[in-house]
Every structure is written in structure tokens, then in C-alpha cells.
Amino acid sequence: MSHSLEFEFLDDGQDGQLVPVGGGALPQLRGLLGRGEIDTAVKIYEETGGSAREGLLQEMVVGSFELKKAIGQMFRKARDFGAAGTTFEVLKNDAEAAGCFEQANDFARAAACWRRAGELMRAAAAYERAGRVDDAVALYGQAGSKEQMAETLARAGKLEEAAALYRALNNLHAEVETLRACVAATPDAIAPALRLAELLANHGHPDKAIELLMGCARSSAKARDDATLLEYLARLLDATNNAPAAAKVRARIAPSAPKEPQPVPVLRATLPLPTTPSADGYGFLKALPMFADLSIEDMRSLFRICVQHGFGPGMHLIEPGQPGRGLFVIIDGQVEVYGGVGAEARLLNTMGVGGYVGEISLLLDGPTSARVTARTNVKALFIGREAFKQYLFNTPSAAIRIYRLFSSNLAERVRTLSAAR
């Protein structure tokens, strides 16, 4: 017994087309999508387990523009983000395609789409997620973002290059953190050890600088015989009134070495190094509940994006009704937190060293509800919202831990407020 195949005429806005009705999900999906019945098509597509994907993607070659657009919308609603990205790419909608490819964890294709869309920063971030560090660094350079160039290099383990960029940016604490990581990873790396020793010495820590250079000298024959390192070490020993030790160090310098090696250039910074007790920003940052589960690598990466700000008495860190800027961690001084506005504002809390405000604005968009004012001279570490979003994107392991802890802490606050009513 034979069965005749039925057809349905679809008006596609051009010459029209005949599509088969029956005979499996693909013809049925074609018909539904041609009529714009996307939600029904999504249900049928999901029931097929994605078996119609390849057939629908072939329609992207021969179908009408409206049909192609409907296929893309269906794929996205069905959460088949890779297929949706492919359809939007065919439709020349690169920004939509890039977002879908990111959701499908296909970061190389996302980066290519962002690049075509002119979104260089987003393309660079996606290239880094795809493991294409050189491409990411090059695009950050085109976009003029040396900060992100440095961060990408640091995350990729190219620590000397990253430290050089941080130095050019006058980001002292990020340079110090990167140099420390470099020395820890490569104890006999002479140039990073000299630079870190110079920073330590010029910010009041000559003993730490001496210890660092002696450790470097012990790590390899090359470092033990480096005239610049030995001469700088001898000068530090002289400066700490240890002339006999300085003489022993100078005795190791080969006669053929330059008698007056050029000293390492000195950076005159106004901010203290993170080794001073009043500026232990790393320790305060690490103590925040939402960062409690971060690994040491993710924690150091987070610390590098911090910027130190100063406020005089009466200056506002946060004002009510304004878009949230980010997180402030107090490393010196006191602040006052007020609820309400104008004459009705009332003092809610006074915070000192180690206190923090603005953490919710890192993850949730919206206006702030409180005013935070410096009671004394205040120094604070600041993490901006955009820099933090970039950090989360490029360190997914940290993002998972932060969101989990943030959600837990937020839920606990809600329970506490509910119990108090």
C-alpha cells in the first residue's frame, strides 16, 4: 500500500516554496518555523534530542532570510547555543553570534565574532579563555588597555613581561606581586630579583632586599657571578652597616667585570609597598567572606586589579542613589555609614581598618542605598565593577566560588532581617 507525500505552500515573501508535511520532525519544524511558530518548534526540537540540528543548519544555506532568522531564534530558545551561534554568524549578526558561542563555551569562535563586530576588549577576553594568549594581548594593545595586557600576561605565567607593563603603568602593588611570583617560580631570574630588591630597599625594607638577593645568588652559578647583582648587594650591605659582608661580596666580582656597573633605576613611589602593616590590603581582601574559597593564584590575580584611593575627612566613598561603583576595603582610617538621605540620614555603622563597603555592587546592578563618608583620612583598596566583571570572565574557577559564597552570605542576611521583624 503506497502513501502519497503531502506538501504545504509557504509564502516566504519571495516566490514561495513547497515543503513536505509529515515524514519526521524536520519537515514539521520547517513548516512551523516558516509560519513563525517558534515556541511550538522549540518543544518539538527539544523532544527530538537535537537530531534535527544538521538538517536545520543546511536550511541556513538555501532557506529564506525570515526562515533563517526563525531557526536562529529557535536554537537560542532551545538553549542549543552552538547551533544558534552558527545561524547568527550566517545572518551576519556577529554580536548575537558571539554571545551564543560564549554560552556554548566556544570561545575561539566567540572571539572571531566579537572582533568582526568591533568589540576588541570582548574579543581579547574570549581569546584568552580560548588559550590564545598572544592574540588576546595583541587585541588588548589595539584597544589601548595596558592593564588588561598585563593581567593576561600574568595569568599566562609571562611574569617578567607583565611586571614591565605594571611598572610602566605605575601600578606598584601589582608590579610587586608579579615580581614576587616571578622570583618564586624562577629563583635564579636575576632581573626580576634586582628590581624587587630595589623596590624593597627604596621603601624601607633593605633587610628583605638583602635576603632576596642572597637567595638568588645561592640559586645558580650564573647569579652568583653576576656583577650587577653582587655590586647592588654589596651596596645594600654597606647601607646597613655591614661593611665586612660587603667586602666579601665584592671579592667575588670578577676582575674583568665593570668597576662601576649601572645601578638598577629607582622608582620613586608615593604609595607604600604591600609589606607595610598599614597597607596589608592583601590580608584584608583575603579575609572578606565572598573571597574565602579562592585559591592563592586567583587571590593574587584579584589583588592585582585593586587600586588604592585616598579620602580626606568628609569626603564620600559612596553616595545613595548612585550606580554602584565597586568594593572599597579600608586599609587605614575610619568611615561612617549612613542610611537615608538629607536631614533624615542616620548613622548606621562606623568602620575601621579591615572594614569593607560596596561588595553587592560588584555582582548586582542598581543604585546604592547608603552613604559612606570618611570620618578621618582614609586609604582604601578599590575594585571597580568593570574590572571585576573582566576578572570573573577570565577566571571561571574563581567566579564559581565567589558566586556560591556571595549567594550564601546574601541568603543569610535575608534570614537575619526576616527573623528581626
Q: Do the Cβ atoms of 132 and 147 come closer than 8 Å? A: no
Domain boundaries, the chain: 6-133, 158-251, 281-420
- For residue 75, give the C-alpha cell: 536554537
pLDDT in tens, 253-299: 877 655 554 554 444 444 445 444 345 788 899 999 889 999 998 99
pLDDT at 19: 46
Residues 6+ positions from 17 with CB-CB distance below 8 Å: 9, 10, 64
Percent of the chain with pLDDT over 90: 67
* pLDDT of 421: 62
Output the pLDDT for position 282. 86
pTM recorded for the entire structure: 0.78
Phi-psi region of 380 (alpha: psi -120 to 50; beta: other; left: phi over 0): beta
Which residues, at least 6 apart from 102, have a Cβ–Cβ distance to it below 8 Å?
110, 126
- Do the domains 158-251 and 6-133 match in fold? yes
Mean pLDDT of 86-94: 96
Cell of 119: 568589540
Answer whether residue 214 shows pLDDT above 90. yes
Q: Which fold has domain 281-420?
A: Jelly Rolls (2.60.120)
Q: What ranges in 305-348 are assigned the alpha helix state H? A: none
| Alpha carbon separation from 301 to 173, 181, 285, 400 (Å, rounded) | 12, 11, 12, 15
Distance (Å, whole) CA 101 – CA 244? 65
User: For residues 61 and 142, what is the distance between their CA atoms, to the nearest angstrom?
Assistant: 35
Q: Specify the pLDDT at position 22.
A: 45
On whether the CB atoms of residues 378 and 317 are closer than 8 A, the answer is yes
Q: Yes or no: say if 38 and 74 are a contact pair by the CB < 8 Å rule.
A: yes
CATH for the stretch 6-133? 1.25.40
> Tell me, what's the pLDDT at 72?
95
377 or 15, higher pLDDT: 377
Highest mean pLDDT among 21-25, 342-346, 373-377: 373-377
3-class secondary structure, 380: strand
More confidently predicted of 10 and 65? 65
- Range among 94-103, 278-287, 402-411 rated most confident: 94-103
The Cα 388–Cα 306 span in angstroms is 9
DSSP letter at 106 equals -
Q: Pick the closest to residue 306 from 356, 251, 254, 244 (CA basis).
A: 356
For domain 158-251, which CATH number applies: 3.30.450.20, 2.40.50.1070, 3.50.50.60, 1.25.40.10?
1.25.40.10
